[in-house]
Structure 1
């Protein structure tokens, strides 16, 4: 009997806590980034890509991310134009190498670019933290 009351009490406390926490999560429509607020936006065609082809958008985003981290590490510079360049180079790489690729080839390439970006991230992070752009 005591166990049942204890469990019921804990459920009430956890339920109330979850409700309070949920109410504190207020979504905002402000998409301004904290770092480098003038980041170039993705090309509009990428934002409007058909849902069935969203895997292509993800590949371009990972190419962009890997290029960004590589540029920071190579130049030892993390100013906003180095960290957030235009999307042209990433789109060009996608167009030249992957535009006619099969689904699984795009998925594999996305994973490869993600791994590359994650490896470079370790070296880029202290450079960007030093300039306040992390």
Structure 2
């Protein structure tokens, strides 16, 4: 085996370490953050704590509330013709109320069916709501 001169070996080691450190720094810069930030309506209300802490086996409860929330908000935008932040991202109370009143005791398959219905409603309202929101600079 050929021996590398000591100064050259040290230079190669230093270069290797600096590239490794630069690569690690770059990876830290692209690591996902658990903190959510939004360009549009940054002060939107957070999901209720119970939704954030729901057990994995019951995540379909959270999904249904999110689907209710999305459908309600898009339909409200279309109904009012307004896309201010309070209209687009209101509190979660109304969606939670619908969930508690209509679905909280349902079986999983019933909640999944309800989610499909709310997704259809949201998708139906989305094009018109998007146009309203784009005109307001809130999309």
**Residue in 2 that maps onto 1:33:** 38
Separation in structure 2 between the aligned mates of residue 74 and residue 100 of structure 1, nearest angstrom: 30
**Residue in 1 that maps onto 2:92:** 87
* 1:74 corresponds to which of 56, 79, 82: 79
Equivalent positions of 1:45-84 (< 5 A) are 45-84=50-89
- Highest CA radius of gyration, 1 or 2? 2
RMSD: 1.7
> How many residue pairs align between the two structures?
113
Q: 1:103 to 1:28 in 2, by over 3 A?
A: closer
Separation in structure 1 between the aligned mates of residue 67 and residue 78 of structure 2, nearest angstrom: 17
Runs of 4+ in 1 over 6 A off after TM superposition: none
Shift of 1:27: 2.8
